Amino acid sequence: MIGKLGKFTALAAGAGLAGWLFSRKRGRNPDRQLTGSPNGQKPRIVVAGAGFAGISTLEELARHIDPDEAEVTLVDQHNYHMFTPLLYQVATGAVDSANLTYPLRRFCTTRGFRFICSKIYGLNPLDQVLTTAAGQIEYDYLVFGLGSQTNYFGMQEIQDRSFGLKSVSNATDLHRKIVRNFELAATLDDPEERRRLLTFIMVGGGATGIELTGSLHDLVRHNMIKFYPEISNDEARIMLIEASDHVLPGINEKIGKIAVKRFEEIGIEMRLNTRVAGIRDNAVITVDDELIYGDVIVWTAGIKPNPISAGLAVEKYRDGRVIIDEHLRIPAVPNIFALGDAAASIDPETGDTLPPNAAVAVQEGEVTGQNLARLIRGEPLIPFTYQPMGELIALGRLKAAAEIGPVVFSGMVAWIIWRMVYLTKLMGTRNRAGLVVDWIASIFAYRKIVDTSPDE
Amino acid sequence: MIGKLGKFTALAAGAGLAGWLFSRKRGRNPDRQLTGSPNGQKPRIVVAGAGFAGISTLEELARHIDPDEAEVTLVDQHNYHMFTPLLYQVATGAVDSANLTYPLRRFCTTRGFRFICSKIYGLNPLDQVLTTAAGQIEYDYLVFGLGSQTNYFGMQEIQDRSFGLKSVSNATDLHRKIVRNFELAATLDDPEERRRLLTFIMVGGGATGIELTGSLHDLVRHNMIKFYPEISNDEARIMLIEASDHVLPGINEKIGKIAVKRFEEIGIEMRLNTRVAGIRDNAVITVDDELIYGDVIVWTAGIKPNPISAGLAVEKYRDGRVIIDEHLRIPAVPNIFALGDAAASIDPETGDTLPPNAAVAVQEGEVTGQNLARLIRGEPLIPFTYQPMGELIALGRLKAAAEIGPVVFSGMVAWIIWRMVYLTKLMGTRNRAGLVVDWIASIFAYRKIVDTSPDE
């Protein structure tokens, strides 16, 4: 095993490179100390939720205020920020979840902020108190960024019998299930049972559903099949079900057409205009009472605001999001900023709202961070204006579709832009280095195809 | 977020380097095809267990036989090989488990071997059949390498209330528990409860216990404490309990003394000559009825052969290992080679047995791979002789102890050798690249401190 000196030298060189990267990263924030108790004289800013909106607010706050100007506390039920746009790649073995999670402890301590890891149970705007498992947290200003959750439209059977894609455990559970089904199918003789285990059904043609489907195709066709000589290519099926007559609603129509064309070319079964009424054991049932058999069913057909938003007695948009003003504040409770998936910013001219996505959340957080600094100093607030950054949708192996300014294009250039943008957006040098290793391995060697489920 | 061009360039360079590594690795095994059905005319070699013994046997077989000389099948309940010597670093956040697992599917298909992922329920030497969840597997020659499991000496309460360190899920469970306890303690006021949550007790002073304890010290003192301003250094305690009067039994005594001295210096509480009688809720109870309180208790105080070995009606060593001859075969059933932790090779002169460790398993597999090729060709077998390679024990941050030939030494040189040896032994270039990233991050930046347990 020893003696591969060339390879080892190269690894060591990579190590040196990585070492330099880390040394540049360290000490970026010179000794900002955690502020005093929440009963001090300084205004208390509490950020609820460490998604894109919350993190972006805090990054901007760190740039605009000194630690002695305000006490800043972040509260989240997890002790990490999750880079959700790549969660589907965890499910398809392209990326390890460890490279997509960034520790909030590190994020907060290096910026002089306080972090409380606790589940949030409620919000009382009158008393200015957030109720958590760790106790009451009082605030002067609250940034409400608790995001959204999967919408099962009240159908418990769907929640019980499908995989979601909103959390690390969702994604790793789905990945293990896919691999486990391949292993199981490889040991069985019954062709129907094998086919059932190897049929993967995605419900919902939004961005998550489309990117997951394209990536799953890569996993199955370019990885699994190669390593399972017992299983033939046509035994594995990938299917996408969408209720409307087109995919990627809310995104440039041309991109949706590119996606459909691409999926037709690579043999993904698409069922447009197909409404799902429920999920039985091993089958999706449509409103026309058709049964579509498959053992792995992924539900990405909708999101809804988190339960804390639902419990807030303030004006809501028709989908349940809290309505906010031009400064992203709740009009009736102006010391609460509501951002991201939990909030609806309505365009006064068109009546449209911004979509619940990462780009909107990040921009909302940036303005909110500045406005909090302005509030503390008694300066006038700046209004929020969304700057569309374009759209990028990955469509599987070396393919993507992009809308940048007035131009829509697809292919490998779009794919390269897609990868570069996501790599730069990911938090933490360590995670970026890990993501590069994962992506290179996924493209040139193979994806993760191990099932590390606990033994039964 | 964009604009860090220098860092990006460096990442891209690293990517290129990694790409070269992967390209060198690919195509190493030119299209060896999976052999036909197990009912063919070729001798059927079945390897049960994909630990160090099994993998080493298969690697040697691939070198010495052609695919048309024998049908080779590997059976394991997991679809990956686990690099167990670094499992403790998964528990302490230094390494991601994904970098320590290598897919057996890839290993087998590239070598023309068959792989069956299935739990093994039994072995019938008379009928030459292995019973698995996937069905009966007939063999002409069997390599029995099912390894060992944690020995709780019949005490179910210990098994229920302690963490083991034999599987990926053991290690990730322990890591999450450590992080979760820090998060929980940070939200509590009761000093006794905080101290209980932050007391970590390791039972067993063997190699695993010692390396885990040293690494846990690094995690707690050099990582966690820094990111938890609510928790003071003296609230966190690390304790090692060992029944005998010295640590590292079976390893050069000098190394044990180096370990004890090192642990005393860095403030690890050591309790030698302390026998554990049981574990109650949140406390270890000794044979002297002393209660030692702590919420996280890790049991590494012994191993025993797997249950399949226990069920075999052949001669056993006093610890339950199957006794093997100089060719590593079971004397009564000479078409079964028993290797690794499951087998005891007794030195005819001294009466000693070889220790159950990776180095022995690897060397046994090497000889067995060659002997299987010899058997098939009717050539005489070569006897097994163990070549001691020395001992390497990591003792935490930049420290290790080594025995190489007649020399015992410790410190940073030993630590560097330790890292280099483990890096070269790890399977797969991708895993090695990931391990380098993890180690650099752990040394220069921070360890993994996120808890990705599923939401309750």
A116-140 mean pLDDT = 96
What is the number of H-type helices and E-type strands within chain B? 14, 25
Q: Name chain A contacts of B114, Cβ cutoff 8 Å.
A: 229
Q: Which of B194, B430, B456 to mutate to test the interface with A (most CBs of A within 10 A)?
A: B430
Identify the DSSP state of B382.
P
The DSSP secondary structure of A12-26, one letter per residue, reads HHHHHHHHHHHHHHT
The shortest CB-CB distance from A424 to any of B1, B14, B105 is to B1
The shortest CB-CB distance from B21 to any of A7, A25, A77 is to A7
Inter-chain contact B436–A186, Cβ cutoff 8 Å? no
- Residue B37 CA to residue A102 CA, distance in Å, equals 48
**What pLDDT score does B2 carry?**
34
Instruction: Nearest chain B residue to A77 by CA: give it.
Output: B455
A59-72 mean pLDDT = 95
Instruction: Yes or no: say if B116 and B134 are a contact pair by the CB < 8 Å rule.
Output: yes
Q: Name chain A contacts of B116, Cβ cutoff 8 Å.
A: 186-187
Q: What's the topology of domain B31-77+118-150+304-377?
A: FAD/NAD(P)-binding domain (3.50.50)
Our measurement of the distance from residue B39's CA atom to the centroid of its chain's CA atoms, rounded to an integer in Å, reads: 35
The β-bridge partners of B278 are B285
- Residue B359 CA to residue A1 CA, distance in Å, equals 12
With 0-12 / 13-18 / 19 or more C-beta atoms within 10 angstroms meaning exposed / middle / buried, residue B324 is: buried
**What pLDDT score does B5 carry?**
39
CA distance B444 to chain A (A): 7
ipTM: 0.89
Locate all alpha helices (DSSP H) within A312-405, ordered by sequence. Answer: 358-377
**What pLDDT score does A298 carry?**
98
**What pLDDT score does B40 carry?**
55
Which residues make Cβ contacts (< 8 Å) with residue A351, sequence separation at least 6? none
Among all chains, which residue has been given the structure tokens 């205020």?
A: A65
CATH of domain A29-77+118-149+304-377: 3.50.50.60
Token reading at B73: 């099948």
In b/e form, how buried is each residue of A62-99, taking b as 16+ CB within 10 angstroms?
A: bebbebebbbbbbbbebbbbbbbbbbbbbbbbbbbbbb
Q: Which of A105, A131, A431 to mutate to test the interface with B (most CBs of B within 10 A)?
A: A105
For residue B27, pLDDT over 80 is answered with no
A35 or A312, which is more confident?
A312
Inter-chain contact B452–A78, Cβ cutoff 8 Å? yes
Nearest Cα residue to B192 out of B106, B295, B100, B118: B295
The shortest CB-CB distance from A105 to any of B227, B441, B445 is to B227
A20 or B445, which is more confident?
B445
- Residue B383 CA to residue B361 CA, distance in Å, equals 15
**What pLDDT score does A326 carry?**
95
Instruction: Yes or no: say if B365 and B52 are a contact pair by the CB < 8 Å rule.
Output: yes
Residues composing chain A: 456
Inter-chain contact B453–A13, Cβ cutoff 8 Å? no
Phi first, then psi: give them for residue A194, nearest 5 degrees: -60, -45
- Residue A58 CA to residue A50 CA, distance in Å, equals 9
For residue B3, pLDDT over 90 is answered with no
Q: Name chain B contacts of A135, Cβ cutoff 8 Å.
A: 187
Helix (H) or strand (E) holding A240: strand A237-241
- Residue B276 CA to residue B158 CA, distance in Å, equals 10
Instruction: Yes or no: say if B124 and B254 are a contact pair by the CB < 8 Å rule.
Output: no
**What pLDDT score does B455 carry?**
84
Q: Cβ of A208: how many Cβ atoms within 10 Å?
A: 21
Query: From edge to edge, which strands make up the β-sheet containing B391-394?
Result: B391-394, B400-404, B407-411
CA distance A87 to chain B (A): 13
Phi first, then psi: give them for residue B112, nearest 5 degrees: 75, 20
Helix (H) or strand (E) holding B343: strand B343-345
How much of chain B is in helix, strand and coil states, percent to nearest 5?
40, 25, 40
Identify the DSSP state of B36.
-
- Residue A29 CA to residue A44 CA, distance in Å, equals 21
With 0-12 / 13-18 / 19 or more C-beta atoms within 10 angstroms meaning exposed / middle / buried, residue A278 is: middle
CATH of domain A156-301: 3.50.50.100
Mind listing the pLDDT tens digit for each residue in B209-241?
Answer: 999 999 999 999 999 999 999 999 999 999 999
Q: Name chain B contacts of A18, Cβ cutoff 8 Å.
A: 14, 436-437, 440-441
Mind listing the pLDDT tens digit for each residue in A167-220?
Answer: 999 999 999 999 999 999 999 999 999 999 999 999 999 999 999 999 999 999
Task: A64-69: list long-range contacts, CB under 8 Å, 24+ apart.
Answer: A64/A369, A64/A370, A64/A372, A64/A373, A65/A372, A65/A373, A65/A376, A67/A32, A67/A33, A67/A35, A67/A112, A68/A35, A68/A42, A69/A42, A69/A43, A69/A373, A69/A376, A69/A377
The shortest CB-CB distance from B436 to any of A15, A187, A451 is to A15
Residues composing chain B: 456
For residue B10, pLDDT over 60 is answered with no
Nearest Cα residue to B211 out of B406, B400, B374: B400
- Residue A154 CA to residue A52 CA, distance in Å, equals 27
A248-265 mean pLDDT = 94
| Confidence at B351, pLDDT banded by 50, 70, 90 | confident
The shortest CB-CB distance from B183 to any of A2, A117, A450 is to A117
Identify the DSSP state of B235.
G
Mind listing the pLDDT tens digit for each residue in B49-81?
Answer: 999 999 999 999 999 999 899 999 999 999 999
CA distance A118 to chain B (A): 8
Instruction: Nearest chain B residue to A106 by CA: give it.
Output: B227
Handedness of CA A439, A443, A444, A449 (dihedral sign): positive
For residue B413, pLDDT over 80 is answered with yes
The shortest CB-CB distance from A437 to any of B8, B167, B437 is to B437
Helix (H) or strand (E) holding A104: helix A104-109
CATH fold match for the domains A29-77+118-149+304-377 and A156-301: yes
Nearest Cα residue to A438 out of A179, A89, A193, A125: A89
Token reading at B205: 């002073």
Inter-chain contact B424–A77, Cβ cutoff 8 Å? no
The shortest CB-CB distance from B440 to any of A15, A103, A187 is to A15
Instruction: Yes or no: say if B72 and B57 are a contact pair by the CB < 8 Å rule.
Output: no
Domain ranges across chain B? 31-77+118-150+304-377, 156-301
CA distance B400 to chain A (A): 20
Instruction: Nearest chain A residue to B24 by CA: give it.
Output: A7
